[in-house]
Structure 1
């Protein structure tokens, strides 16, 4: 993270110097907390690159640096980079300047120029991942799911709300059940497997409220 932060400060210092010709390298280096010698060398290299940079380049050097970092950041977060995403990002930056869009093969050539990008696009396609895209295997899974019973209850059951409290040591207090109804039924206590210390309360909608919570 510190390397990226330092690089960002160097880029900002260079951009500031280019915008303000009166600003010296020493002052910019002090303001952005970067080594003066490093900043000086980067400015010299930047000038040489700009002079020798072919006009066929669609993006500036800084824009390419931003795009490279964008691809690396997305890949580090688990989003596999795709060429069409690189093309879209480049076109977005060009669109803000009113420039023409890149060509169809531009993204492919751009990735090919940088070794740190090529390794992220040329990973071996895992066989297990390939199986996950096999239509026959996918259809077999859906056939299996479609044959699973939609219900495992007899159909004569009702929903109930349970309030259960416990702590980190595994200690609990008796549970509190709310069922829909107006009166207590004897079979709740004689024909069920509920522990004897559980509390049961009938409510109009089997939900809790302030009054029920107080009880």
Structure 2
């Protein structure tokens, strides 16, 4: 497989100075700029986030090109942004999975989890210990022991699920940076089945 890396020309300027009612003002340059002709190839990846900037690394396209002269090794060496880009996609998948298992609870509720868990763990070791914070969470008719055991069970299930997600994230990112071909790299994706439902966790 051979490739072509194309650095798109800088489009300038993003803003132009125009005469305003009270002096010069910046206005968005809306003059259309036609894209350059594409090679007879397949676009694999592009980063045009800096099309108005001087930084050429933000104006890059990678093409799988039968007429190209670059090898997999040359592409990966010249475009470390590829690994960073696909690592960010993996992190986004992990973040979505983590958010899904935490979704039943508001951030304000989750802020108290460490305090609840600390008291519940201490109570698990010594049932005679007081648990003033958790006691204040009890609803009428609820047994303290039932609440504390539920805190322990739910927290440990959440920790098991979240650490599994983070471990898998690290595994995939390590594979990304160890990839030796572009096809191998782009094939590393975050699987949808990892996006656990709350019923599977809590």
* TM tier, smaller: under 0.3
Task: Pick 1 or 2: higher relative contact order, CA cutoff 8 A, min separation 6.
Answer: 2
- TM-score, reference length from structure 2: 0.21
Q: Which has the larger radius of gyration?
A: 1
